[in-house]
Amino acid sequence: MSKLNGKVAVVTGATSGMGLDTAKLFLEHGAKVVLTGRSQEKLDAAAKDLTGDFLLVPAEASSTADSKNLIAKTVEKFGKIDILFLNAGIFRMEPLGNLTEEIYDEVMNVNVKGPIFTANEAVDSLNDGGSVIFNTSILNVKGFPAMTAYAASKAALRSVTKTFAAELGGRNIRVNAISPGPIDTPIYGKHNVPQDQINEMAGSFPAMVPLGRFGAGKEIATVALFLASDDSSFINGAEIPVDGGFAQV
């Protein structure tokens, strides 16, 4: 059964990992999907695995000009928007004493400013009854060393989820968040620290997860589908953890 038949969905950061898995699942369920990514080359590579009605739009997540272009191209191609999955983000680590303004600004610009202003640009083009989904992290409630900027950015998005839910509820637009735990995703290859440190950190995660494993991008995608569809018609302002119990028990 197609749960998103005819719906128009925008998925940011959709060239790999959770974003690409979600874009594929949305297409499988009948949505028309707009995918963004920094690189046209990576977008073209991702498109080889896609089937359905989709549009590729290069966009830097922190750029308000790119956000305006993204929404303009989406509306030009498909008309109104039903679903926003604001997934694009970056992962940075820096211990206290070494944290720089450059790293802080980069993380906040991509992880917070980008989603906020993409939604801000899209709001007049959102259909009443639509769905906005943020990608947060369990690190907004669980402390880890060297994660100051990253965790703060995800906590900010949790707050934004509540604010937008209150503001858009009158239009029956639901605003929710997905809070991933350790997910097997390429984001661990996009960082600013030595790879052996990342490997050590990632290697410790399964032992901390009650289910004893990393999650998969597809397990985020199925929750995104739930929040995008009418199956979640009375869920608003919520943050759903998808973490195998990592931050729950």
**Cβ atoms 232, 176 nearer than 8 A:** yes
Catalytic residue, chosen from 54, 150, 164, 226, is: 150
39-55 burial, b at 16+ Cβ within 10 Å, e below that, comes to eeebbeebeeebeeebb
d(CA 87, CA 25): 15
Residue bearing tokens 């997910």 = 183
Cβ within 8 Å of residue 18, ≥6 positions away: 87, 135, 180, 183, 185, 217, 220, 221
Q: Is 194 exposed, middle or buried (0-12, 13-18, 19+ CB in 10 A)?
A: exposed
Neighbours of 86 (CB within 10 A): 27
Distance between CA atoms of residues 43 and 60, nearest Å: 13
Contact between residue 149 and residue 94 where contact means Cβ atoms under 8 Å apart: yes
Which residues partner with 81 through β-bridges?
A: 126
Torsion of CA 105, 91, 161, 168, to 10 degrees: 80
150 is catalytic: yes
Give me the amino acid identity at 194: P
Q: Which residues are catalytic?
A: 150
